[in-house]
Amino acid sequence: MRRLHAILAGIVFALTASFGLTSSDQSLELRAQLAGAPTQVYSAAELFRDLVAASVEPHAKRWDIPAPTGLRPCCALGHNLGVAIGPVPVPVVRLDNILPPNLFGRHRYNSNLIRLAVHPRNGVGLREQNGLLYTCGGGIVDTAHIRDYADLTVYLYSLLEPRLATAQTIELPEQAGRRLLHLRKIEAPALTGERRRELALALAGWISFQLSIWHEAASWYGWSSLPMFPETVSAFSPEDLYTNMLGIRLAFELIGARRVRSQTDYESAMDEAMPRLLARLGAMPASLSRSVISAIDGQWWTSSQRLPHRELLQLRSFETGPVLAPLRVPRRRLQQKLGTYEADYCAAWEDHPVVLEVPERSGDVSLSQIVTIEIEPQDDLARAMPSAGDGDARITQHELAEVVAAIAQAERRASADVTQAAHSGAMTANAWEVNRTR
C-alpha cells in the first residue's frame, strides 16, 4: 500500500482535514444522522449500474491515455493518528483521515502528488479530497484506492484493446521493480466487435488487481516511493484489496458508458460516479465513520502507536480473491462500544454485504493463459522475498500467491508476542463476520 507517500503530504492533509468537531447538541446531530440511515440495499451488480450517463458521441476521438506514474498519498487505517520520524514524535500533527461523504473534490487522472485548489466554501484545500469512510455494505473504504485503480484500469484497457491480436511484451512504469506484460496472440476472428472489448476489459481488471497485490507485497517488505518512510505499516490493511476492486469495477462502468474518450470527460464522469457509488454502498457521515473506526481501536489498529510504526495496524487481510467479501465491523462490537442507535445505522445492510469478484475468465477463456505478468523485484526486495524454486527472483502471477502466503505466515509469527486476549478478540470478530457474509 502507498501510505506515507511523503510525511509532508500527510502534514498537508492534516492541516487541510476536518478536525471532527461536533455540534453543541450531539443528541440532535445523532438523531439527524440516524434519520438519514440507508434503507435500500444494493447487490454488487446493482451497485455499479447506471452510475453515469453514457456518452452520445460514439465516434469521438480516442484519448491517448498516459501510464499512471504513481499512487495517491492516503491513508493509514485509523484516525487522529500521531506521526513520528524515527523514534521522535512529531508534535501537533494529527491525521484525521476520515472523509465526509459529500466532499470528494475534483478527480484528476494520475494525481499522485498533493494538488492544492481553492474551494468556494472551504478555502484552500486539496484538489482531490481523499480519505476513509465506513460503509454499511462494504466496510471501510479508501477513496484514494478507488481513484488509483480506476485510473490504472482505464489505462490498461486503452493499452490492451488495440493489441490483442499481436503477441508482444509491454513494459509498465516501474513500481518496486520492473513490471512486464507478456501477451499471447489471439486469433483475429475471435476478436471482432463487442467480444474484443469484453476481453480487453476483463484483462485490464484482472491485471490491475494482480498489480495491486504486488504493491501490497512490496510494501510489506518495506518498499516505499520514499525510502525514508517504509509502508509496511499499512500493507494488506483490511480495506485495501476490496477497495481496489471497487475502483476496478467503477472503471468497467465508465468504459462501458464510453466516458473515457477524453481526460476531461473521464474526470467529469468520476466526479459524477464517486458520490453515487459510495451513497449506494451506505457511506456513513464523517462523525459516525470516526466512531466506528474508534470502536475497532485495539483490534484492527491501535492508537497507542504512531505512523509509520508497523504495529499501528493490528489486523491485515490476505484474501486475494477471486471472491472478495468486505470486512465489516460486527454489529455487536458497535453496540458494545457505541450504543444501540449507532449500531442500528446499518441495520438494513446486516445480511447484505457487497461481495465482489475478481474477473479470472472472459467467456471460456482463462485470462492467465492470455497474459503473463512478470515482475523483476528491486534487489533489496528480491533478497527479502521467498525465492522461486530455481532461485530466479522474477515473479509471475503464479508465484505471487506463494509470496502472499509467506507474508501471511510471517505476519502470524510477528504477531505471536501480542497479548493473546487482544489478538484473538480481533481475529474472532473478523472471522465471525467473514464466515457469516460468505
The pLDDT, as a whole number, for residue 8 is: 43
Query: Is residue 27 included in any domain, yes or no?
Result: no
Q: What is the pTM of this model?
A: 0.86
Query: Is residue 233 included in any domain, yes or no?
Result: yes
pLDDT at residue 231 tops 70: yes
The lowest-confidence range among 100-104, 241-245, 394-398 is 100-104
User: Best-predicted range by mean pLDDT among 30-44, 69-83, 126-140, 198-212?
Assistant: 198-212
Q: What is the pLDDT of residues 270-300, one digit of tens each?
A: 999 999 999 999 999 999 999 999 999 999 9
The pLDDT, as a whole number, for residue 387 is: 64
Cβ neighbours, 10 Å, residue 225 = 17
Q: What is the DSSP letter of 370?
A: T
pLDDT at residue 308 tops 50: yes
Query: Is residue 274 included in any domain, yes or no?
Result: yes
pLDDT at residue 423 tops 60: no
Percent residues over pLDDT 70 in the chain: 81
Contact yes or no for 404/213 (Cβ under 8 A):
yes
Q: Quick one: cell of 335?
A: 453496540
Which pLDDT band holds residue 417 (cuts at 50, 70, 90)? Answer: low
Amino acid (one-letter) located at 244: N
Query: Is residue 402 included in any domain, yes or no?
Result: yes
Residue range 159-173: mean pLDDT, rounded: 93
Residue range 313-341: mean pLDDT, rounded: 94
Written as one string, the DSSP assignment of 102-160 is T--B---TT--S--EEEETTTEEEESB---EEEETTTEEEEHHHHHHHHHHHHHHHHHH
Range of the domain at 195: 7-19+41-437
The pLDDT, as a whole number, for residue 59 is: 60
Asked, as a colleague might, if the bond just before 189 is cis with ω within 30 of 0, I would say no
Please state the domain count of the chain.
Answer: 1
Residue range 2-25: mean pLDDT, rounded: 42
Query: Is residue 1 included in any domain, yes or no?
Result: no
Instruction: Provide the mean pLDDT of the chain.
Output: 84
- Tell me if residue 6 falls in helix, strand or coil: coil
Using DSSP bridges, classify how beta strands 168-172 and 323-324 pair: parallel, antiparallel or unpaired.
Answer: unpaired
The Cα–Cα gap between 216 and 238 comes to 11
180 Cβ partners below 8 Å, 6+ apart?
169, 170, 171, 172, 373, 374, 375, 376
Residue with cell 497507542: 304
Residue range 228-232: mean pLDDT, rounded: 75
Query: Is residue 24 included in any domain, yes or no?
Result: no
Query: Is residue 30 included in any domain, yes or no?
Result: no
Residue 20 burial (10 A CB sphere; 0-12, 13-18, 19+) = middle
Residue range 391-395: mean pLDDT, rounded: 83
pLDDT at residue 389 tops 60: no
Contact yes or no for 166/306 (Cβ under 8 A):
no
3-state helix, strand, coil split of the chain in percent (to 5) is: 45, 15, 40
Query: Is residue 121 included in any domain, yes or no?
Result: yes
pLDDT at residue 111 tops 60: yes
